[in-house]
Amino acid sequence: MIQAFPQLEVENLRVGGAGFLVVDTVSFTLCAGESFGIAGESGSGKSTLLLSLMGMMRQGLQPLGGSVRLNGRPMLGQTDAALAAVRGSKIALIPQNPVTALNPSRRIGAQIDEALLLHSALSARGRAARVLDLLGMARLPEPAVTARRFPHELSGGQVQRAAIAMALAGEPDVLLLDEPTTGLDVTTQAALLDLLVDLRHRAKVSMVCVSHDLGVLARLCDRIGVMYAGAMVEEGPLALVLARPLHPYTQALMASIPRLGAAGLPSPIEGSPPSLFHLPSGCRFAPRCALVQDACHSLRPELSWVEEGQKIACLRPNMAPAQVSHPTNTAFAKGAPLLAVQGLSVSYAKQGLFAHKAPKPVVEEVSFTVVRGEVLGLVGESGSGKSTILAAIAGLAVPTAGHIRLMSNNRAEDLAARATTRPLSHLQSIQLIFQNPDASLNPRHRIIDLLAQPLMLYGQVPRSQLRAKAADLLAEVRLGAAMLDRMPAQLSGGERQRVAIARAFAAKPDLLLCDEITTALDVSVQAAVLKLIHDLARKHDVAAIFVSHDLAVVRAIADRIAVLRNGKIVEINTGEELCARPVDAYTKSLLRSVLEIPLGAIHSHLPPRE
Amino acid sequence: MAAVLLQRIGLALVTMVIIAVVVFFALELMPGDACSVNLGRGASDSMLAACHIRLGLDQPPVWRFVTWAGDFLRGDLGISMQRERPIAEIVGWRLRNTLILAGVTSVIGIPLALGLGVLAGLNPDGPLDMAISGVAIFAMTVPEFISGTLMILVFSVILGWAAGVVTIGYKAPAFELVKASILPAATLIFILAAHILRMVRASVVEVMQSDFAQMARLKGVPRRRVIWHHVVPNALLPAISIIGLTMAWLLGGVVIVESVFNFPGLGRLAVDAVADQDLPLVQAIALLFGLIYVLTNLGADLVALILNPRLRTRRQ
């Protein structure tokens, strides 16, 4: 076996600004042909680390120490011209959001051609042919047509393929991937990962891949590092780290990921990551760590070897790994029917003076029922109509056919098409929680004002009791009463979503409509929100319709799951049955596309290296 | 593309009709009419009646609107009361003169504004940006009758480079007018460039921060090429509609600037017509201003449509 030579060496890298550190003393080495993954939640410093590998610093940041070397040459403190010569030709980036990362007013072909112009000696004709080659390599249909397109004329997955073609144009030695599949549908994501795995072997590039999704890293990488609050807390061969995480944060992170295979809710990590301005003096994870000791608060652990191949930064390295256990999802007892949707169709009419095309239905002939206290999951890819169904139930989208009945005062009542014409009792019964709490909470209202509105409107709570009632609601979502006088911007994303949930429960609803409510959250926070919805729904006997693109998330929380495709329900069944014995071909393909993290069996040998 | 184009043109036509209706009936609502205003208080009933018949004012208003608008379409703008001549003849020359002034202003002012805006935006908060933005804010704040007077003071009275007041007649040859329009144009450029360059500066700053500008640098594109190939083309797109609006503003600006410099254009004619209470002439000029406003904005829309692929094609 030939000893692989180091291609990229990062040594004690520190990146930060005035009074804060984003990347704190990180070291790792990438050998030729190797693929290294960096896992971490938002704010862990993983993207900043990735950019500094190319000598790029975001505004307000600068290297504060350490070094980055590419093929032995330093990447930090170099002139623009020196960096321009290396970027794209020796080291290339596949961006996080390709739709905004490509120039909107230049054709795809021209943008790839530019990379060739800068990094190859090809003639104009040679470049034109190479552009088509590269697009073909990225498996884009009809390269000649795609080359003539503008970025906005392609789908998200296609633009990402174009960005991959662009990154490969300079034949780099090292390819950096920044959340390469975030924001894509699961089936698109699966196809893209296949492409990347294939390219890695064919183009013989080394990779550094950053993602919050361990499933993505599991597909692409041989080794991974786990980052928390700017520091690398665990590093080792992928199979080992996933099978036997040694750092308490890695263990907790793994436990917070919902899995298709394991029934029940994932375990949340309590608390939230530290602010970069007020990092704890000892171990950064100590305030959230279940196994914390006194020494953890004062001593800073260093990343050091503990097992063959595995390093962790922890003061108690010889602890046996904690068992990854999922709290059980309390079984739900079948109750009385609450909501019946029958033959529901919705189409959005084209707006404007010159509209003439007949609108295509977004939701077509959808029927289902929801029983009191039940959580029904709606899963589907973007454009499947899942959010539109919620909008129709909430009275925000007008159905073109079908009706929606709600059990109210012990009799089935038809829901009016528009929320504005519904009686107060119907409005109170159905509460909607939106995907993005940043946008759904009025930024100019204090938390108390946000909660007071439904309390006064639906609960007739007198002014003198508002504060106490609002504090009770916050306690239910496990937030302190001190939050009442804060503004939404002073809260973290997870806390804001809890406030949104408290606001929905303030109305004492019978049915909650949850529209991708965990999509914008980190996994550890997502687990907490899922548990909260589950507990509150059971406690107050509230039913919920939980919409998500993520089958594993839906599986964790829902009693029954409906799979949507192109506005139609293709399969509806209990979560267990649907995942164990899918009937519809589309359900099967969705299940196959879910990136499960290999658990359990530790591979007896490391993956082979060339 | 064709549908979007037709839609814009259709909307422009609708707007023009609305402008015509408003201009016509606004004057209709005023007390008195062209005859009573022209003949004055001492006019006898029979003189008024004769005048009404001569101008067709005895007809019902809607019918008069239709004939007025129809005549307008054929290029017959009616007859001036005070000047006793066809309005088309009076307005035609002045329109040419104003277009010359506007032309000189935009040919020099727009490229200047774009260039300065890009320069300021590339080094935001640097000394160059401070100087350019400072002068621009000053220019936007000072009304044109003051900046115009200052121009006359500096360039004509003190330096003696150009005549302070235009003395040539409205039928003067075009090149004479180009020469005469230098100081008035400078006054207009001062303000027009300020508005456009502020917009371009903000746009360049924003695009420099964009993902795709950063991506271009990470692709190994040298800084100069990032600026000219990626940043500037995208930053100028939003400037197009601002240019359209500013051009339309020019028309309002010329009314004052032409008066200050005694420039024989449409703006000064408008002021004179109002002073003389020459209602048919006021009506015709108001409608012309309205149409030019709509046409410049339509032009800006179409240019934006051609240059911006995101507007040109809808997502499939």
Least confident of A263-272, A542-551, B74-83: B74-83
DSSP secondary structure code for residue A363 in this structure = E
pLDDT at residue A600 tops 90: no
Give the pLDDT score at A606.
37
From chain A, pick out residues whose CB is under 8 angstroms from the CB of B215: 93, 95, 101-102
Segment A154-179 mean pLDDT:
93
- Of residues A237 and B50, the one with the higher pLDDT is A237
Place of tokens 């006021």: B282
In chain B, domain spans:
87-312
* Structure-block tokens of residue A225: 């590092």
A551 has pLDDT over 80: yes
Of A97, A103, A170, the CB nearest to B220: A170
Among A43, A56, A130, smallest CA distance to A93 is for A56
> Residue A303 is inside which H or E element, if any?
none
The confidence band for B315, taking pLDDT boundaries of 50, 70 and 90, is: very low
Residue of chain B minimizing CA distance to A84: B220
Q: Is there a contact between A101 and B215 if contact means CB atoms under 8 Å apart? A: yes
Please determine, for the modelled complex, whether the ipTM score is greater than 0.90. no
pLDDT band for position B88 (cuts 50, 70, 90): confident
pLDDT above 70 for A333: no
pLDDT of res. A345:
93
pLDDT at B58: 79
Rounded mean pLDDT, B161-167: 77
Provide the residue count of chain B.
316
H or E element in which residue A252 lies = helix A248-255
- What is the pLDDT at residue B56? 76
CA distance A265 to B246: 60
Task: Give the lowest-confidence range in A238-242, A306-310, B97-101, B161-165.
Answer: B161-165
Give residue B165's pLDDT: 78
Is B60 within 8 Å of chain A by CB?
A: no
Q: Calculate the average pLDDT of chain B.
A: 85
Residue A323: which pLDDT band, with cuts at 50, 70 and 90?
A: low
- Note every long-range contact of B69-72, with CB atoms under 8 Å and residues 24 or more positions apart, other chains counting: B69/B20, B69/B24, B72/B20, B72/B284, B72/B287
Structure tokens given for A185: 């549908």
**Nearest C-alpha of chain A: how many angstroms from B68?**
29
Q: Which of B209, B216, B308 sits opposite A105 (nearest CB)?
A: B308
Give pLDDT, residue B313.
62
Which tokens in the block code for residue A219? 């597909």
pLDDT in tens, A22-49: 999 999 999 999 999 999 988 889 999 9
Q: Which CATH class is domain A1-32+40-78+208-328?
A: alpha beta
Statement: residue A325 has pLDDT above 60: no
Nearest by CB to residue B221, choosing from A84, A93, A354, is: A84
For residue A145, what is the enclosing H or E element? helix A143-147
B23: closest CA of chain A, how far (Å): 26
**Pairs of residues, one from chain A and one from chain B, whose beta carbons lie less than 8 Å apart:** 93
Q: What is the pLDDT of residue B68?
A: 84
Q: What is the mean pLDDT of residues A516-536?
A: 89
Identify the residue with better confidence: A111 or A263. Answer: A111
- When pLDDT is cut at 50, 70 and 90, the band that residue B143 belongs to is confident
Mark out chain A residues that contact chain B at CB-CB < 8 A: 51, 54, 56, 59, 80-81, 83-89, 92-93, 95, 97, 100-106, 114-115, 118-119, 150, 152-153, 166, 170, 352-354
Q: Of A35, A36, A60, which is closest to residue A48 (Cα–Cα)?
A: A60
Looking at residue A413, its pLDDT comes to 87
Position A329 scores a pLDDT of 61
What residues of B are in contact with residue A84 (Cβ under 8 Å)?
A: 217, 220-223
CATH number of the domain located at residue range(s) B87-312 in this protein: 1.10.3720.10
Question: How far, CA to CA in Å, does A226 sit from each of A44, A149, A221, A610, B62?
Answer: 9, 39, 13, 25, 79
Q: What's the whole-number mean pLDDT along residues A43-68?
A: 92
**DSSP symbols for A445-479:** S-HHHHHHHHHHHHH---GGGHHHHHHHHHHHTT-
Measure Cα distances from A105 to A108, A116, A337, B110 in Å.
9, 19, 53, 22
What is the average pLDDT value for chain A, to the nearest integer?
88
Output the pTM of the full model.
Answer: 0.82
> In this prediction, what percent of chain A has a pLDDT beyond 70?
92
- pLDDT at residue A326 tops 70: no
- The pLDDT tens digits of the residues spanning A91-108 come to 999 998 888 999 999 999
* Interchain contact, A88 vs B237, CB within 8 Å: no
At B148 the pLDDT is 86
Best mutation target, A94, A105, A106, to test chain B (most B CBs within 10 A): A105
The sheet with strand A231-237 has its strands ordered as A91-94, A174-178, A206-211, A35-39, A223-228, A231-237, A310-312, A304-307
CATH code of the domain made up of A373-396+418-593: 3.40.50.300
Pick left, alpha or beta for residue A14 (phi over 0 → left; psi -120 to 50 → alpha; otherwise beta): beta
Cβ–Cβ contact B221 with A under 8 A: yes
Which of A5-14, A507-516, B290-299 is predicted least confidently? B290-299
Whether chain A has a CB inside 8 Å of the CB on B54: the answer is no
Instruction: Report residue B71's pLDDT band, with 50, 70 and 90 as the boundaries.
Output: confident
Please answer whether residues A131 and A113 qualify as being in contact, where contact means their C-beta atoms are separated by less than 8 angstroms. Answer: yes
DSSP 8-state code for residue A287: G
Residue B225: partners with Cβ closer than 8 Å, 6 or more residues away: B216
pLDDT at A136: 93
**In this complex, do A87 and B216 lie within 8 Å of one another by their Cβ atoms?**
no
Predicted confidence (pLDDT) at residue B278 exceeds the cutoff of 60: yes
